[in-house]
Amino acid sequence: MTTRKSPGLKPLVQVDSQGGTAGSGADDLAETRIAAVLGLKQFTQRPVRTLLVKGLAGTGKTTIALEILKAAGKGKGAYISSRVPKELLEMQIPAMQKTLQNQEFYDIRLEDATTALDFVIQLTGPKKVKTIVFDSWDGLAKELDQKERLRAEKTMMALANNSGAQLVFVSEEPGATTIDYLVDGILELVRVEEQDRAVREFIIHKLRGTKIPQHKYLFTLLEGKFTFFGPYAIPDYTKVNKFVRRPDIDGSYSFGSGALDRLFGGIIPGSTMAIEYDENVPYSALRTIELPPIINFLSMGRSAILLPLPGANDERTNSILTKTLGESVVSDRLRILNVVRTSDLETTQMQKNVTPNEIHEMVTRETTTLREKSKDQSVLLVKSVSALENLFASDLDSLLEVTSQEIITLAQSHDAHILFLAKDSPIRSRILSMSSSYAKLFVRDGTVLMFGVKPHTGIYVLQHLEDPTSPSLTQMV
Amino acid sequence: MNSLSATSGTDDFATTFANAVHGGLDKVLGQSGATAVLTHMKMTSNLPDPAEFHKKLLTLFGKEATLSLERAIVRDLVTRLKWALDLLSIEGPFDFNTAMLKIKKGMKA
């Protein structure tokens, strides 16, 4: 049984649209599409002729196979389905409807291995078809004995090899089968649990003749499209855009980032938000959470205080802020207090053996001064708990006491508080229990991920697609 | 009589060749692969002469794979005839048509 193109059906979702991305770097995201990058670029360029895509049900095998089929070009691909009819596949993956309509579709659910092989011969014979997807081969192969299966697989390899066509086998068999040894490349798709949330990962087991820089990558099936994420890339700060001020959202302060506002709904005046991060989260990733609220606060005519993270480059921070806001705003309504840098302590006329209480008093003094300059007397305090922990390692009780006091005092004001703390912070649990919202950042397969614990959110990949100072968040689904 | 004998010899070769093609292809491509290939070539029952068969195989599989398939067919044919492979005594690289001609002659003799 062969199903040809069904005319008249329009895709429910535009194939190349990239909605659902919390940031709006839609076009840039397209660059990370599977068929256009890394090893699979090699696949589309043909050194890898045969590819096995394996994984359990629901891991995204069909979607990736269709992405590869799409890369073959209109009319140059064929999809042999032993599992799902075309109409159902179009309904299940609407983003791929156009791809399915642009390529030959063979429905072999009721056929045997001989007929399936006959289709492969028909497709490879004229040497016009570039890519053939066999979804799934195991469905048919299970009907054959081991020897017969191996021979049938060898037949397909030989046919593909002679015609120059690429064969993509989709398989639900998790273990190694005969075809594992024959194909040029093996991709395995898995769903793993990360912080009580499901994350998709693909593993490159082999890709003959191709340099594999990394074996595991995260991917999302957002909008039915296979989008994978390379390792986190430090943004290019020379490309800082003009900042667009974001007004308050229903009485809450904006994070200065559409992505963060959509995820957390803004910062409630008087509230404390805790940002917990793993030790391997790059500083530039944290900076995109740290700076936008400050920039927005200042651009709204308010004031801000920043106690940077340990290892922060104050010059760079200053340069970014000056570039986006202008020198006068930064010098007038922002105070950067680098508690681990001696020069700042000297500026504030403190001794090297400063106490948590003295820091607290200093912050209170600065807050009072800056409050006068703020258009509505509100001040944003962005503070690195890690920096203070480093400074007061021998007196953490006092630090906790002072921090608690600050959180309580702040709750009675219209100020806002963002606290950055490391995952292994000794005062972490106490601070988290006092925070009204709480987000976590961590790294997996080189990709930076973020999610909200309070409020509970899905898990997002953090990139810099629009602006180096602003986060782009793409949901993992 | 001679003419009848010649016809009978041709029939014998055609039948043996057909069986060897099925047997040889089965061994390499499996039953489903062999059936699919022969169906595609429209050769499930009437096999053409070896030269034409060689051309069709070459189009589908290319030089290297065709060589493997033809070797398997010749091996099968020789086994069916209960010959020893070295009886073919073909000099130089393997050539399907030459091997077939040799077998055909040998069957007539």
Among the listed residues A123, A66, A73, A76, the one whose alpha carbon sits nearest the alpha carbon of residue A97: A66
Strand partners, A422: A277
Residue A254: what pLDDT? Answer: 96
Question: What confidence category does residue A26 fall into, taking pLDDT thresholds of 50, 70 and 90?
Answer: very low
Q: How far is CA A318 from the centre of its chain?
A: 28
Residue A302: what pLDDT? Answer: 96
Chain A touched by B55 (CB under 8 Å): no
Chain A touched by B72 (CB under 8 Å): no
Q: Which residue of B has its CA nearest to A117?
A: B36
Residue A351: what pLDDT? Answer: 57
Token couple for A107: 């429905």
Q: Tell me which residue in A122, A150, A154 faces B40 most closely, judged by beta carbons.
A: A122
Which of B27, B29, B68 is the best mutation test for A, with the most CBs of A within 10 A? B29
User: Do A115 and B36 make contact, defined as CB atoms within 8 angstroms?
Assistant: yes
Neighbours of A421 (CB within 10 A): 25
Give start-end residues of each CATH 3.40.50.300 domain in chain A: 26-229, 237-475
Report the top-level CATH class of A237-475: alpha beta
Residue with the larger pLDDT of the pair A241 and B15: B15
Chain A touched by B36 (CB under 8 Å): yes
- Considering A282-286, A411-415, B16-20, the range whose residues carry the highest mean pLDDT is A282-286
Domain range for B61 is 2-108
Give the least confident one: A41-50, A67-76, B30-39.
A41-50
Q: Indicate whether A296 pLDDT > 90.
A: yes
Q: A273 vs A117, A257, A269, A321, A454, CA distance in Å?
A: 60, 15, 11, 22, 9
Residue with tokens 């891991």: A59
Question: What confidence category does residue A269 fall into, taking pLDDT thresholds of 50, 70 and 90?
Answer: very high
The 10s digit of each residue's pLDDT in A169-194 is 999 888 888 899 999 889 999 999 98
Q: Tell me which residue in A118, A158, A161 faces B36 most closely, judged by beta carbons.
A: A118
CA distance A53 to A171: 6
CATH no. for A26-229: 3.40.50.300
Over residues A212-240, the mean pLDDT reads 87
Counts for chain B of helices (H) and strands (E), in that order:
3, 0
Question: What confidence category does residue B99 fall into, taking pLDDT thresholds of 50, 70 and 90?
Answer: confident
CB A160 within 8 A of CB A196: no
Could you give the 3-state DSSP secondary structure of residue A439? strand
Domain count of chain B?
A: 1
CA distance A81 to A78: 10
pTM for this structure? 0.81
- Considering A43-47, A76-80, A121-125, A464-468, the range whose residues carry the highest mean pLDDT is A76-80
Chain B touched by A146 (CB under 8 Å): no
Q: What is the mean pLDDT of chain A?
A: 84
Chain A touched by B59 (CB under 8 Å): yes
Residue with tokens 């289709």: A119
Write out the E strands in A172-224.
185-194, 197-207, 216-220
User: Do B40 and A121 make contact, defined as CB atoms within 8 angstroms?
Assistant: yes
Residue A107: what pLDDT? Answer: 93
Which of A120, A121, A144, A157 is the best mutation test for B, with the most CBs of B within 10 A? A121
The residues near A62 (Cβ < 8 Å, ≥ 6 apart) are: A84, A89, A92, A93, A135, A170
Residue A18: what pLDDT? Answer: 31
Chain B touched by A239 (CB under 8 Å): no
The alpha-carbon gap from A163 to the nearest alpha carbon of chain B, in Å, equals: 8
Residue A328: what pLDDT? Answer: 92
Q: Which residue of B has its CA nearest to A127?
A: B60
Which of A114, A150, A163, A179 is the best mutation test for B, with the most CBs of B within 10 A? A114
Residue B86: what pLDDT? Answer: 66
User: Do A158 and B61 make contact, defined as CB atoms within 8 angstroms?
Assistant: yes
The 10s digit of each residue's pLDDT in A128-172 is 788 899 998 888 888 889 999 999 999 999 998 888 888 999 998
Question: What confidence category does residue A36 fall into, taking pLDDT thresholds of 50, 70 and 90?
Answer: very low
CA distance A139 to A261: 46
CA distance B73 to A7: 46
**Percentage of chain A lying above the pLDDT 70 cut:** 87
Among the listed residues A299, A305, A293, A267, the one whose alpha carbon sits nearest the alpha carbon of residue A414: A267
Question: What confidence category does residue A247 fall into, taking pLDDT thresholds of 50, 70 and 90?
Answer: very high
The 10s digit of each residue's pLDDT in A366-404 is 999 999 999 999 999 999 998 888 888 888 889 999 888
Q: Indicate whether A225 pLDDT > 80.
A: yes
Residue A21: what pLDDT? Answer: 39
The alpha-carbon gap from B39 to the nearest alpha carbon of chain A, in Å, equals: 8
Q: Which residue of A has its CA nearest to B28?
A: A151
